[in-house]
Amino acid sequence: MKKYTCIFLLLFSWISVFPLMAENTTPSTDFTHGRHSLRLGWGLGTRQLFHDYQDLNFIMPPSNMQGIHKSALPEDPYYYIWQQIQGMTADQAHKYLMDCRVITKNGPNQFGHLFLGYRYDVNTWFSAGVEADWFYLWSSQEHRNGYGALVDKYDSQLHQLTIMPTVRFTYYHHPLVELYSGLGLGYTLYADPYVSHGFTFSPTLLGVNVGNEHWFAEMELGGMATVTTSWFGNPGVLFSSRLLSVAVGYRF
């Protein structure tokens, strides 16, 4: 936790100098567009899961309920099963093949972040607003017996909804281009289907706004991290990072 506190203080002190930079370059009351703006965007989702296995082959033999991870298996898990039934009678082999399970997990797959935000320009270098962010992730798991027949299939989904107030510091102004950084602090709910929650920290390290008096497009480099509880009940930090995001918006 100390590490994340240091990162937060470093970022906050870094972006706190932007108002001073902007104050020296633009008048604080010179507006060429409306003070209100709405934007809709999409962000790249990269998530670090506590149990993240991609295309996992996992054998659950009847005699070892803890299972055998693919790192201890040959490339073909069914070859391992074939080795186990050597020397068994036909009835014993049949029972083993019916009772064992080869578990294959596909995913997680992710849609990314879809977000909607409102912003009010207090002056030409400082803005405040609120943003809603939705993130979706899904995975599937197949259980097959030793014959390769499908026994069970499980689909899992995770929905993440974040609501956070935001601030923005614009430090470069041009009739068509603006450069800015910002910070969002909010609250996140997870449903997978169990509900979890936590506090979210979302910095915008660098943002570019291109547009005219009303319509604009934006690109941002930043991130999103949530301090929450893992699926195993242990405190942790889940990263569903908006490392890169794009948006379109309208000023009025």
Task: Spell out the domains of the chain, with CATH numbers in brackets.
Answer: 2-52+109-146+155-251 (2.40.160.20)
What is the rounded CA–CA span in Å between residue 42 and residue 149? 40
- Looking at residue 238, its pLDDT comes to 59
Q: Are 220 and 206 in contact, with CB atoms under 8 Å apart?
A: yes
Write out the H or E segment, with its range, that includes residue 81.
Answer: helix 77-84
- Looking at residue 181, its pLDDT comes to 97
Q: Name the DSSP letter for residue 33.
A: S
What is the rounded CA–CA span in Å between residue 13 and residue 19? 12
| pLDDT of 41 over the 60 cut | yes
- Looking at residue 23, its pLDDT comes to 45
Q: Give the pTM.
A: 0.70
| Span 75-85, pLDDT tens digits | 677 877 888 88
Q: Are 203 and 185 in contact, with CB atoms under 8 Å apart?
A: no
What is the rounded CA–CA span in Å between residue 113 and residue 129? 18
From 20-29, 30-39, 209-218, 227-236, the region with the lowest mean pLDDT: 20-29
- Looking at residue 134, its pLDDT comes to 93
Q: Are 212 and 176 in contact, with CB atoms under 8 Å apart?
A: yes
| Span 142-198, pLDDT tens digits | 888 888 899 988 888 888 899 999 999 999 988 899 999 999 999 988 887 677 788
- Cα–Cα nearest to 186, from 219, 168, 161: 161
- Looking at residue 28, its pLDDT comes to 41
Find the mean pLDDT for residues 109-135. Answer: 93
What is the rounded CA–CA span in Å between residue 167 and residue 164? 10
Pairing state between β 235-251 and 215-222: antiparallel
Mean confidence (pLDDT) of the chain: 78
Whole-angstrom CA distances from 86 to 94, 117, 162, 223 are 12, 63, 55, 53
What is the rounded CA–CA span in Å between residue 217 and residue 59? 50
What is the rounded CA–CA span in Å between residue 187 and residue 115? 14
CA contacts within 13 A on the Cβ side of 185: 4
- Cα–Cα nearest to 70, from 55, 48, 85, 86: 55
